[in-house]
């Protein structure tokens, strides 16, 4: 998984509780992303980062916030989890390289269940 770890790998939580997912990379890639994957949908971008403390919203950012204080770590926070946020969350990284623009490498995923 290209030097990408996600923690936790599985989590069950209750509606209304805060949840933080962590993505850690050892590749020193500039760009990091958070996606969610749900049945019947393609991967959907939540937020991404283009450098330390530089982040931007994706397609489905409502209810999520992110932080990146170090190159290697990208945190995804659900301030108050809802059942609609039950999903599998993937972190990805990429670096601009000649001929390989925007090739993203994915982590193993975190399965989150909100009861």
Please state, in angstroms and rounded to a whole number, the distance separating the CA atoms of residues 17 and 35.
20
- By CB under 8 A, residue 75 contacts another protein: no
Residues 3-42 that bind another protein (CB under 8 A): 4, 31, 33, 40-42
Residues 84-113 that bind another protein (CB under 8 A): 90, 92, 94, 99-109
Q: Which of 45, 65, 67, 73 binds another protein (CB under 8 A)?
A: 45
With b meaning 16 or more CB within 10 Å and e meaning fewer, what string describes 42-79? Answer: ebebbbbbeeeeebeebebbeebebebeeebebbbebe
Q: Which of 56, 80, 83, 115 binds another protein (CB under 8 A)?
A: 56
Q: Between 9 and 70, whose beta carbon lies closer to another protein?
A: 9
Residue ranges of alpha helices (H) inside the chain are none
- By CB under 8 A, residue 65 contacts another protein: no
Give every CB contact of residue 5 below 8 A, 6+ residues apart in sequence: 23, 24, 25, 107, 108
Residue numbers of the site for another protein (CB under 8 A)? Answer: 1, 4, 31, 33, 40-45, 48, 50, 56, 58, 90, 92, 94, 99-109
């Amino acid at each position: 998984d290209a030097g990408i770890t996600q923690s936790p790998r599985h989590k069950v939580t209750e509606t209304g509780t805060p949840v933080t997912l962590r993505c850690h990379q050892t590749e020193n890639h500039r760009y990091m992303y958070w996606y969610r994957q749900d049945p019947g949908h393609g991967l959907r971008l939540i937020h991404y980062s283009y450098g330390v403390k530089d982040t931007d919203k994706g397609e489905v950012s409502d209810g999520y916030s992110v932080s990146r204080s170090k190159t290697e770590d990208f945190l995804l926070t659900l301030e108050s989890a809802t059942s609609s946020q039950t999903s599998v969350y993937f972190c990805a990284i990429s670096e601009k390289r000649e001929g390989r623009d925007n090739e993203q490498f994915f982590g193993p995923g975190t399965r989150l269940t909100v009861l």
